Structure 1
Amino acid sequence: MSMKILAVVGSKRKNGNTAALIEKTLSAFQNSEDFSVETLFLGEMNFVGCNGCEGCSKSNQCVIKDDMQRAYILLREADAVIIGSPTYFYNVSSDMKKFIDRCYCFTNYMPGNRSVWTSEFDSGPRKFAGYISICEQNNVDDMGFTPQVLQKTFESLGFRTVFNQKVLHCFKAGEVNSKSEPLDSAEANGVSLRETMLLQGK
């Protein structure tokens, strides 16, 4: 049975830098019977942000019926996720923020002490994650919270981080395709994720 990779593109641009880097990362899994890959383009999905209703608190099932319902199935089935977002005002894109907030339904909190929580993914086989953040500026500080938001979110949900790639000075759509260093790094990150998953599967 093949292991499942879910890639999530948090940019509106299907031919943008985020999508290009994720595609390069996924190249490590091509032509392998050990893996299957699916990509979600958040800009094509019809979904809203979390409304804080707590309807998921007893069932881990979000009560909002939109395109996130399919995403939940894919996240639950995934053995690894690759999450990418451009940087908007020192943070993830608005679509990525909505996506992250809607992952709240995977968590379980201790009654009377919400500083204690677990994720439904804490049990069962370990899941893995890799992150890609893109920024138009030249200084990593100008990425703000983007890399940390991606990593802390999925680590809190029980995913083990394999890589967290930070790519600077990319603004125009597809500009990263002319830059060998981030493309090579993305491909190497994909190989690291692939080998980590295969090692666990032994």
Structure 2
Amino acid sequence: MKIIALNGSRRKKGNTRILLETILKPAATAGIETEQIFLGDYRIEACTGCEGCSKSWDCVIKDDFAEIIAKLDHADGIVFGSPTYWYTVTSDMKRFLDRCYSLIQFPKTRQQWIGKYQNSGKVCVTAAVCEQHEEAMMGTTLTLLSDFSRDIGLELLDSVAALRCFEAGSIKQESAVLQQAELAGNKLARQKS
């Protein structure tokens, strides 16, 4: 069993890393292999809208994207996490999500699609961090990650919103959020243990 967390933050010691580590901890404690991937460590070009993936599940752009998708293909659980930049996910996460257009197919019409992971049994948790005190200031960060995960066929188990977190490590003071993150992680671990 393996659970992969994709981190859209460039801050390696930031709040998103701590939040994702907290979500992964129950699985790691249960002996499930876990890995956190910082998207900023990979070369992921922008989607060009070329439709080269329309007849397969593979993006035709040659960069590090395929390496990450191979990891997702072999994972049983996936966690998507991002800090909030201007009311949504970071540019690293957005570029990755855009490239995941290759993970859906339109067998009949453009209004209906199937996700690559549909009926795969893969489960997901989404997580977002925001420095503001009101969830509305998070904008679309959490809903984008959650809607995206369902669109590609993952079963969304839980979502965690961390507010009031800006300085690196400040999330450690948010005990309720960390408790919620651990509960979400327990859901992942129970699904896959």
- TM-score, length-normalised on structure 2? 0.95
Partner of residue 75, structure 1 = 72
Report the Cα offset of residue 184 of structure 1: 1.8
For the residues of structure 1 that align with 2:129 and 2:56, how far apart are their CA atoms?
35
Q: Does 1:108 align with 2:105?
A: yes
Amino acid across the alignment from 2:177? P
Question: Does 1:4 pair with 2:2?
Answer: yes
Tell me if the contact between 2:30 and 2:189 (Cα under 8 Å) persists in the aligned partners: no
Report the Cα distance in structure 1 between the residues aligned to 2:113 and 2:27, rounded to whole angstroms.
33
Runs of 4+ deviating beyond 3 Å = none
SS in 2 for 1:22: helix
Identity of aligned residues (%): 38
Extract unaligned runs of 5+ from structure 1. none
Alignment partners' CA distance in 1, 2:135 and 2:161:
8
Structure 1 equivalent of residue 181 of structure 2: 186
> How much does 1:119 deviate?
1.5
Aligned length: 193
> Counterpart in 1 of 2:133?
138
Q: What does residue 118 of structure 1 align with? A: 114
Identify the structure with the greater strand proportion: 1
Report the CA distance between 1:110 and its aligned residue: 3.3
1: CA distance between counterparts of 2:127 and 2:116? 24
Q: Give 2:142's aligned residue.
A: 147
1:91 aligns with 2:88: yes
Rounded to whole Å, the distance in 2 between the matches of 1:179 and 1:31 is 22
Per the normalisation by structure 1, the TM-score is 0.91
Could you tell me how far apart the structure 2 residues matched to 1:138 and 1:153 are?
A: 25
SS at match of 2:106: strand
Which consecutive unaligned segments of at least 5 residues does structure 2 have?
A: none
